[in-house]
Structure 1
């Protein structure tokens, strides 16, 4: 996928994803990788990566993997029906983390995905899975 197409896909992921500063690193039918350079604003009161930031990255990556489309304007919205996240290690400001997601099962409307959150040394920070529903085409929404 071209850098231009990847940028177009990234721009369709709105809201908190954009506010975090997350970047779409890999977007394919087999795998989606979302990366983030951790800043002080991504930390909790213990100076470690906030669990909500971890969950958001994983949610976005899993949603993108199940709504893959070569044409950015044909990408559907993913609606999270359920998500389970297990936290296994902390990360601190200055670290680069990435959520690596893969679809496990795809139906007509519902898909299931799994995700690992890794640091720059491939240390597992969190892992989880989710069940998602494909919604409207992104171009049909405001």
Structure 2
């Protein structure tokens, strides 16, 4: 994705997703979707999607789902994340979805899935996220 096309959720750019080549498709009402074309550099020695890439997709999907429920805040930080790898991510495109199933004023509890082009489950995750408020007009998180 070109560097001049920032992806935003509630007005916040997500540079790492852009660099990775992932695309935020949706983030509203506690639900999100991230899509990614899997390139050779995203694969491991078995030529399937690297587990770190899968965890990144899950983390981004869950965090943006949480963030979509608190648009006045700058973002969320991962506190805890547990992932189960179900099958190899072999397709050329993977789809991650995130859902915030409970939130408080400071925390969000989420679940996420990565599926392949056939709709088969590749990985599943749950996570806890802390909401981060703006500290100043400069946008510094705290």
TM interval, short-chain normalised: 0.7 to 0.9
Task: List per-residue Cα deviations over 1:78-101 (Å, max 9, x = no partner).
Answer: 110000010011123x62111111
TM-score by length of 1: 0.83
| Structure 1 residue 119 corresponds to structure 2 residue 116 | yes
Q: Map 1:1-142 onto structure 2 (within 5 A).
A: 7-9=7-9, 12-15=13-16, 17-68=17-68, 74-92=72-90, 95-137=92-134, 140-141=139-140
Instruction: Kindly state the Cα deviation for residue 30 of structure 1 after the two structures are TM-superposed.
Output: 3.7
Alpha-carbon distance in 1 for matches of 2:87, 2:70: 35
Q: More helix by proportion, 1 or 2? A: 1
The alignment's C-alpha RMSD in Å is 2.4
The ranges of structure 1 where at least 4 consecutive aligned residues each deviate by more than 3 angstroms after the TM superposition are none
Structure 2: gaps of 5 or more residues: 1-5
Structure 1: gaps of 5 or more residues: 1-5
Q: Tell me the matched-pair count.
A: 133
